[in-house]
Amino acid sequence: MQVSLFQDNQTETVIALWQRCALTRPWNDPYKDIQRKQTDKNGRFFVGHSGDVLMASIMVGYDGHRGSVNYLAVDPGFAGQGYGQALMHKAEEFLRSLGCPKINLCVRSDNAAVIEFYDALGYMPETVYYCGKRLIDDV
Q: What is the pLDDT along the chain (139 residues), one digit of tens a residue?
A: 999 999 999 999 999 999 999 999 988 899 999 999 999 888 999 999 999 999 999 999 999 999 999 999 999 999 999 999 999 999 999 999 999 999 999 888 888 999 999 999 999 988 888 888 988 887 7
What sign results for the dihedral spanned by CA atoms 8, 13, 16, 20? negative
Q: Considering the domain boundaries, does residue 116 fall inside one?
A: yes
- Asked if residue 39 lies in contact with residue 48, where contact means CB atoms within 8 angstroms, the answer is no
Alpha-carbon distances of 96 from 13, 65, 85, 122, rounded to whole Å = 29, 12, 16, 16
CATH number for the domain spanning 19: value is 3.40.630.30
The verdict on residue 29 lying in a domain is: yes
pTM of the model: 0.90
Q: Is residue 61 part of a domain?
A: yes
pLDDT of residue 128: 85
Counting beta carbons within 10 angstroms of the beta carbon of residue 27, is it exposed (0 to 12), middle (13 to 18) or buried (19 or more)? exposed
Flag whether 138 is in a domain.
no
Residue 84 lies in a domain: yes
The boundaries of the domain holding residue 114 are 2-120
Number of structural domains (the chain) is 1
Task: Find the Cα–Cα–Cα–Cα dihedral 85, 78, 42, 10, rounded to 10°.
Answer: 170
pLDDT at 108: 85
133, part of any domain: no
